Amino acid sequence: MQRQLFDCAQIEESIGDIYRALAARDGMDTELRALWRELARDEDAHAEQLRFAGRLSGENIMREDNAVFEGLGELRETLGRIKEEVAKASLSQQRALQVTVKLEEDFCRLHLGAVAEISDPKMREMFQALARSDREHVARLQQYLKEK
């Protein structure tokens, strides 16, 4: 379980890196840049929470036969592709918003899946909070998409 938590922390940091890179790109709306910087800080905080939980967690807080973290490799690959697109500046502002909404939705599903599988109440509570934050991110990004 510790390894999965540290993997999740690295992925959260990668999402933060994507948000920072998008916020730094020329041609992006000022309000959107501020939103992406804020979301990057949130992702960094998520990573810290996961690392802290990883340091404290026992190995037996999740059922042996769970499949919650099986998709981490695929998510990591997706993040790698997105990072490449951001680095090449090939994502339009609209497409970047769509991509980040999808990322947040994917992570919300992952966090909620963990809630169902984790036996430790404090760890479940942390994953519920992460899912709530993901839903807030989705709502804010979708609101921006709707307004612009």
Tell me the per-residue pLDDT of 4-60, one tens digit each, with 9 for 90 and over.
788 889 999 999 999 999 999 988 889 999 999 999 999 999 999 999 888 876 655
Band (64; pLDDT cuts 50, 70, 90):
very low
- pLDDT at site 61: 52
Cα–Cα dist 14/29, whole Å: 22
- Tell me the backbone φ, ψ of residue 25, rounded to 5 degrees: -75, 140
The gap between the terminal CA atoms of the chain, to the nearest Å, is 41
Find the DSSP H helices in the chain: 2-24, 30-56, 72-87, 93-117, 121-147
pTM of the model: 0.87
The answer to whether 115 and 66 are in contact (CB under 8 A) is: no
DSSP per-residue letters across 60-86: TSB-TT--GGGGHHHHHHHHHHHHHHH
The answer to whether 118 and 58 are in contact (CB under 8 A) is: no
- pLDDT at site 123: 85
Residues of 101-137 as b/e, b for ≥16 C-beta within 10 angstroms? bebbbbbbebbbbbbebbebeebbebbeebbebbeeb
